[in-house]
Structure 1
Amino acid sequence: MSQPLTPPKMKSMKAQGSPIAMVTAYDYPSARLAEEAGVDVLLVGDSLGNVVLGYETTVPVTLEDMIYHTRAVVRGAPRTMIVTDMPFATYRGSKEQTLRNAARLMQEGGAHAVKLEGGAELGDEIALLVSAGIPVIGHLGLTPQSVLQIGGYKVQGRDEAEAARLLADAKALEQAGAVAVVLELVVEPAAAAVSRALSIPTIGIGAGRGCDGQVLVYHDLIRYGSGIRDKRFVKPYADVGETIRSAVSQYVSEVKNGRFPEESHAFQTQAQPQEKPTTKLYGGDPK
């Protein structure tokens, strides 16, 4: 891909039945590797609070955090569409505040689009952003910024009322101008129904096979970290954490035992070249 994906192209991919592959990224090397691997979209998720910054929830993540990490991702993946989460309390306050904060993510961070968690109640804010030229992706189902309010990480859409509310919210987001909707931890039938009802793509994470694309957290996908918890909706494709742990452990052992560094890792002084005698052109022997 020579140019970043655009919202119209995403919509076209849905119409053509071409799945969208999204993954999170939080820094330059992960973004660069993901772009080289061919991902369609990179999400600078506020999940960086959990997997990079060590917070229990995403709530402590600030706008400055998101701008900082978005800049790094943009540098690592210049040919990939970059979507950045608007973190907790940077929207829903006033439309002016929402526009100002979203604009900072675009202007200072370099994001191509922003993502907001919430349903129909965000319609006016989304419409304002869209009218200002800011592409918006919605986020329904489990909304991590509200996890303290909803009482934990629970699967959504299990009963008819929840499923109907999801569908209504998704339609409201599309009506407001959202270019896509992330569905997180939603039962497969409800997610599939939402996907069929929308003309914009749905991106699932723990939402089954009926979505128009999928997203996984980078650290879950490759098991990068310590104490990575297995999740039913995640398929790990590598165990980078164990590889790193083993490599560092071997390094520590070799330093302690004097096996590193070896001669091949050291620099030596070079012998000074001997001064050559000079020959006089006229008279006498060389001195």
Structure 2
Amino acid sequence: MSVHKSNIKRVTTHQLQEMKNRGEKISMLTAYDYSMAKILDQAGVDVMLVGDSASNVMAGHETTLPITLDQMIYHASSVVRAADRAFVVVDIPFGSYQGNSKLALESSIRVMKESGAHSVKMEGGAEIKESIERVLSAGIPVMGHLGLTPQSIYKFGTYTVRAKEEAEAEKLIDDAKLLEETGCYAIVLEKIPSSLAKIVSESITIPTIGIGAGQDTDGQVLVVHDMLGITQEFKPRFLRQYANLSEVMTGAVENYISDVKAREFPSDKESY
């Protein structure tokens, strides 16, 4: 029996908090287009992240830096139209919030108004505190992001695990507490030692969502194209591939090509 749209209960920040409180893990995946988002939403994922990783998986860029605010709003609008249940979070892209709280507010308002998303996400700690405060003052929920922050890739120079050194680990714990105090409702922890992710998750009351941060975070997120095996070249240690769709899709396309070449498609049944 299909559930009527009006009976579907939307996931909210309040529910995410309640999930942490009762020890229920939060499931989060990236989504960038309507068709994929529809599948994720119907499968029951709690949160869909319209990640600036669209820059890599959808547009073929080497980093997340080139994607624009307009492009993020386009992807977000597509995902929102598919989401009946999931909570939709949108990355504010590089250059649309750092160092300028007024710009951060304008970017976030555009995302919320033009896409209909439910929250924005920003990378960084103390250095973006003012931007987060200003966005929150407009009533827009903010998800934080600490650890490996891909928008700062040229500062780090590498995508390796962050916060292995004590000073960086201490700053990360301080930043997590600061983000909670500022008013963020959740924080993504990317590629940090699992022991540190456990400390952070226990030192703050808001949910943590890990990617390459072990199993003690309050939830997990993966890039959907990596998890489904659509992208084959990216296989970090933290990734579990739940399918090999690249193989399935390649096989299907090859069969189609050979049927067309052999005049086996379309058949009489498939013709008018």
* TM-score, scaled to structure 2: 0.95
Aligned residue for 1:51?
A: 57
1:229 to partner: Cα distance: 2.2
Structure 2 stretches lacking a partner, 5+ long:
1-6
Structure 1 residue runs of 4 or more that deviate by more than 6 Å after TM superposition? none
Q: What's the CA shift string for 1:245-264, capped at 9, x where partnerless?
A: 00001111111122211111
The one-letter code sitting in structure 2 at the alignment partner of 1:248 is: V
Residue 249 (structure 1) aligned with residue 262 (structure 2): no
SS of alignment partner, residue 263 of structure 1: coil
Q: CA RMSD in A?
A: 1.1
1:138 to partner: Cα distance: 0.4
Aligned residue for 1:170?
A: 176
Check the 8 A contact 2:46/2:85 in 1, yes or no.
no
Taking the aligned partners of 1:131 and 1:167, their CA distance within structure 2 comes to 24
1:33 to partner: Cα distance: 0.3
| Superposed counterparts of 1:1-287, under 5 Å | 2-225=8-231, 227-267=232-272
Q: What's the CA shift string for 1:44-72, capped at 9, x where partnerless?
A: 00000100111000000000011001010
1:187 to partner: Cα distance: 0.6
1:159 to partner: Cα distance: 2.2
User: How many pairs are equivalent?
Assistant: 266
SS of alignment partner, residue 5 of structure 1: coil
Taking the aligned partners of 1:232 and 1:2, their CA distance within structure 2 comes to 36
The one-letter code sitting in structure 2 at the alignment partner of 1:258 is: R
The one-letter code sitting in structure 1 at the alignment partner of 2:212 is: G
Structure 1 stretches lacking a partner, 5+ long:
268-287
* TM-score, scaled to structure 1: 0.90
Check the 8 A contact 2:142/2:185 in 1, yes or no.
yes
1:123 to partner: Cα distance: 1.3
SS of alignment partner, residue 28 of structure 2: strand
Check the 8 A contact 1:66/1:87 in 2, yes or no.
yes
Check the 8 A contact 2:44/2:85 in 1, yes or no.
no
Check the 8 A contact 1:124/1:176 in 2, yes or no.
no
The one-letter code sitting in structure 1 at the alignment partner of 2:51 is: G
Taking the aligned partners of 2:221 and 2:214, their CA distance within structure 1 comes to 11
Q: Percent of pairs identical after alignment?
A: 48
